């Protein structure tokens, strides 16, 4: 039994079958070779000061350009060239590139899992390939686009 705080009181209850199976699903996901590869690339990036610095610089410069553009200010060619120079250096760094690819792969996995679970709850059964291919993934997935 595990405690749960509810209205200031500590209550105890047994984990439900759904909670247990959810933990099992999470473990299965973590154990997949794709996830192990993603984690290794993310960890390599986090340990690489140069790659992290390049990433932060590109994100900061990109954000500054977006803010300027959203305020209808003219973007100077020097600013754009500076951003592109830093972005190209980031993309040429194998560790940073691995991190960016890993982020994209992780997003795709999250999207597939969210879509599958949303469809399961919507349909009341495990969705088929055809169910997953039709239209959007439903409300709440956050993608807001058709597939």
**Total domains in the fold of the chain:** 1
- In the numeric block, the tokens 């192990």 are attached to 36
145 pLDDT band, cuts 50/70/90, is very low
Distance set, CA 67 to CA 54, 62, 80, 84 (Å): 20, 9, 13, 17
**41 domain residue, yes or no:** no
Full domain range(s) for residue 105: 50-130
Contact 87, 36 (CB under 8 A): no
Q: Could you tell me the pTM of the whole model?
A: 0.73
Are 58 and 86 in contact by the 8 Å Cβ rule? The answer is yes
Q: Above 90 in pLDDT, residue 44? A: yes
In a domain, 142, yes or no: no
């Amino acid at each position: 039994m595990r405690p749960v705080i509810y209205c200031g009181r500590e209550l105890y209850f047994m984990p439900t079958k759904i909670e247990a199976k959810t933990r099992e699903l999470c473990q299965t996901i973590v154990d997949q070779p794709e996830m192990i590869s993603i984690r290794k690339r993310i960890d390599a990036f986090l340990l690489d000061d140069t790659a992290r610095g390049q990433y932060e610089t590109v994100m900061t410069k990109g954000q500054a350009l977006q803010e300027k553009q959203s305020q209808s200010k003219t973007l100077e060619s020097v600013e754009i060239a500076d951003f592109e120079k830093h972005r190209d250096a980031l993309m040429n760094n194998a560790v940073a590139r691995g991190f960016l690819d890993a982020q994209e792969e992780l997003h795709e996995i999250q999207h597939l899992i969210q879509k599958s679970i949303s469809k399961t709850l919507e349909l009341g059964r495990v969705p088929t390939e055809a169910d997953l291919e039709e239209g959007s993934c439903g409300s709440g997935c956050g993608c807001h686009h058709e597939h």
